[in-house]
Chain A
Amino acid sequence: MGKFIKWGLPALALVVLAAGWWLGLAWAPPDREMGDVQRIMYVHVPLQWVAMVAMAINFGVAISYLMKASWKLDAAAEASAEIGLVLGTAGMITGAIWGRPTWGVYWSWDPRLTSQAIMLVTYTGYLVLRRFVEDPEKRATWSSVVAIIGAINLPIVWFSVRWWRSLHQVQSTPKTVDPEMTLALRVSAFGMLFLTLWFLVLRYRQALAERQAEVALPDALPSDLAAAGGANSSGVA
Chain B
Amino acid sequence: MSTSRPRPIGLLTATLALLRKDLLIEWRTRARLNAIIFFALATLLMFSFALGPDTKLLEKNAGGYFWLAILFASVLALGESFRVESENACMDGIRLAPADARAIFLSKALGNTLLLTALGVLLVPVMVALYGVRIVTSVVDLGLILLLGSLALSAPGTVYAAISSNARARDVLLPLLLFPLVIPALLSAAKATTLVLQGDPMRQFDSWAGLLGGFNLIYWGVGFLLFPRIIED
Contact = CB atoms under 8 A, between A and B. Distances in A.
B226 A129 contact: no
A142 B218 CA distance: 19
Interface stretch (B49-57, B83-91, B172-180): B172-180
B31 interface: no
B28 interface: no
Contact of A152 (B159, B167, B218, B230): B218
A150 interface: yes
A146 B180 CA distance: 12
A132 B159 contact: no
Contacts of A118: 180, 183
Interface residues of A, number: 24
Contact of B168 (A124, A133, A148, A152): A133
A138 B166 contact: yes
A132 B226 contact: no
A129 B172 CA distance: 10
Interface string B70-83: 00000000000000
Given A129-B167, A132-B168, A134-B168, A145 B159 contact: yes
B11 interface: no
B176 A149 contact: no
Contact of B173 (A66, A129, A148, A152): A129
Contacts of B166: 133, 138
Contact of B229 (A121, A126, A145, A153): A145
Contacts of A132: 167-169, 173
A141 B167 CA distance: 13
Contacts of B232: 141
A165 to B, nearest CB: 16
Nearest to B227: A145
A221 interface: no
Contacts of A145: 159, 163, 226, 229-230
B58 to A, nearest CB: 22
Given A141-B230, A152-B218, A125 B183 contact: no
How large, as a class, is the contact surface on chain B?
20 to 34
Given A129-B167, A133-B168, A66 B180 contact: no
A118 B181 CA distance: 8
B-side interface mostly:
helix
A89 interface: no
B177 A146 contact: yes
A66 B164 CA distance: 19
B222 interface: yes
Contact of A133 (B167, B177, B219): B167
Nearest to A139: B167
A147 B184 CA distance: 18
Contacts of A134: 168
Contacts of A142: 163, 167, 230
Contacts of B168: 132-134
A138 B173 CA distance: 15
Contacts of B156: 149
A152 B181 CA distance: 9
A125 B230 contact: no
Contacts of B163: 129, 142, 145-146
B219 A149 contact: yes
The 7 closest A-B pairs by CB, nearest first: A121-B180, A125-B177, A125-B176, A132-B168, A132-B167, A122-B180, A142-B163
28 contacts: A66-B229, A118-B180, A121-B180, A125-B173, A128-B176, A129-B163, A129-B173, A129-B177, A132-B168, A132-B173, A133-B168, A134-B168, A141-B229, A141-B230, A141-B232, A142-B163, A145-B163, A145-B226, A145-B229, A145-B230, A146-B160, A148-B222, A148-B226, A149-B223, A150-B181, A152-B218, A152-B219, A156-B184
Given A128-B173, A149-B181, 14 more contacts: A118-B183, A122-B180, A122-B181, A125-B180, A126-B177, A128-B172, A133-B167, A141-B232, A142-B163, A142-B167, A146-B160, A148-B222, A149-B222, A150-B181
